[in-house]
Chain A
């Protein structure tokens, strides 16, 4: 493996910080391997986003504004990524560790006969081989996993694990030729927005999460959301809160839900059962606000504040807002 290819996640040209983190990491890894760094941007808005990516140290940005990419699920995307991977040659393919990224990674890895490592937080190059550092077993073990001999390897990369650093000479932008003779089956009939432009939970640098102690749906909007907004983060929940119907399951963190590892995790009214712990224990700093100082969450938090969340959180929101002003 010599080159590095990033697959960019975006919606109509709008993307998130992880795209630029991956572009930076693609350059760094390509330099260590003695190869070139590439990005693939597909679908509506791709050309505009490619211009933005020129500010990052990539060698080439490969673009296809094909309506099929937006009309059909995943298959056209994989055909384009495959075309770029085969043209570039032996490469590590990077995608963000998000719902989209995991879909792309699993399909392109099988297509290329490549190995796949998920939730990668670092890369090591040893004797020309690439090893991916990734937490496993719910954060209980940090592993280093190498791609075996082969042309390609695929890594889903944890958002916020790498810095985004602009610079470089400005990548060339190439149009990708449409792979011929393909017919697609998975038609996207409609899209329904339930949360307006929320920050993806898995990409949020800060997560403010609520559990049974909140007692209902309203505090997620009135108590947690303002604090999350002030901190530039997203709202999450424990399984108890999702099961009670207070929040949609898409916000659930832990076993059978999402795994997050923000820089800051604030757990409000969450006892910290193992099912929750495995979804958030590798967060940078963990703050718990709980009535019960002996709740299990205290065992893996950095700060535990024993008190009434309904009194504490609004005051904290004010302090954070004041500090920003």
Chain B
């Protein structure tokens, strides 16, 4: 059983992020690159499955982005993934959601899979569109927002989060699932894992080998601007409940919110 986890490397949330006015792309230089936090949960879910299924189950990481940043993948390998494939090519720079999903689908067809596990969202783009689009491109069932994943006899069963609870949904493999953070806190890498990760393979894959050399983005960033600045907060000291409540209530009335 081959599980592939899609991982994205993103600028650290604490770094100040900006868009380059010339290329209209996110400035990635200078900011520390980290694993997209949502993808750490995807990897955790995959590693849990590997532990439960045992046998010949493997977990491969698939990442797309500049080759230079990919050493960050060692952290995910140290957590327990077996190997990694990096789809990296100048022709894929500036991909939007549609192009990213199409490119990842090409790579997945190239490396093969029984189950694809995705995080729900990327910390930088925040569109949340890749898992669904990827399932569509691969022509496999796409079970999104799973908070629990089981595999039994080549059938995937998930608890899928909804606004008011969850659904139990099943489908046959091959399939794609995206997970929420309820799957469990991502594990820390052990010292043995960290040592072992140094020897694991990070294999490059170019766009033409993935069969995705001719893609183009479907959206174009025209403009961007800082949001209107919030004026400095009004600060009220409330020695008792009534004073505090009155201050909030009057403020909400001023703004016609009550």
Contacts and interface: CB of A to CB of B under 8 A. Distances in A.
Interface in A265-315: 266, 274-275, 278, 282, 285-289, 293, 298-308, 310-315
Contacts of B239: 307
B153 interface: no
A191 B165 CA distance: 8
Contacts of B164: 193-198
Nearest to A132: B219
Contact of A106 (B96, B128, B216): B128
Given A113-B98, A307-B238, 6 more contacts: A73-B141, A99-B163, A107-B136, A110-B98, A116-B97, A304-B236
A147 B126 contact: no
Contacts of A307: 237-241, 243-244
A273 to B, nearest CB: 10
Contact of A306 (B135, B237, B245, B257): B237
The secondary-structure label for the interface of chain B is mixed
Given A107-B132, A256-B181, A303-B236, A137 B218 contact: no
B13 A107 contact: no
Contact residue range for chain B? 35 or more
B128 A264 contact: no
A286 B258 CA distance: 14
B23 interface: no
A146 B222 contact: yes
Top 5 nearest A-B pairs (CB, nearest first) are A106-B132, A311-B241, A115-B218, A307-B238, A315-B245
Contacts of B162: 99, 191
A298 B231 CA distance: 11
Contacts of B63: none
Given A74-B142, A111-B136, A118-B129, A188 B219 contact: no
Which of B26, B98, B242 has its CB near the most chain A CB atoms (within 10 A)? B98
B219 to A, nearest CB: 4
Contact of A145 (B133, B142, B144, B221): B221
Contacts of A303: 233-236, 247-248, 251
Contacts of A263: 257
Interface stretch (A34-42, A53-61, A171-179, A316-324): A316-324
A109 B241 contact: no
Given A189-B170, A198-B164, A302 B37 contact: no
A241 to B, nearest CB: 13
Interface of B: 13-14, 17, 19, 26, 37-38, 41, 96-98, 101-102, 123-137, 141-145, 147, 157, 160-172, 180-182, 216-227, 230-231, 233-249, 251-253, 255, 257-258
B242 A315 contact: yes
B98 A256 contact: no
A150 interface: yes
A113 B222 CA distance: 20
21 contacts: A75-B141, A106-B130, A113-B98, A115-B96, A116-B219, A131-B222, A141-B227, A144-B224, A145-B219, A147-B218, A186-B169, A191-B167, A191-B168, A249-B181, A250-B163, A263-B257, A303-B247, A307-B239, A307-B243, A312-B248, A319-B249
Given A115-B217, A287-B251, A190 B168 contact: yes
A135 interface: yes
Contacts of B257: 206, 263-264, 285
A143 interface: yes
Given A186-B171, A192-B168, A312-B248, A142 B219 contact: no
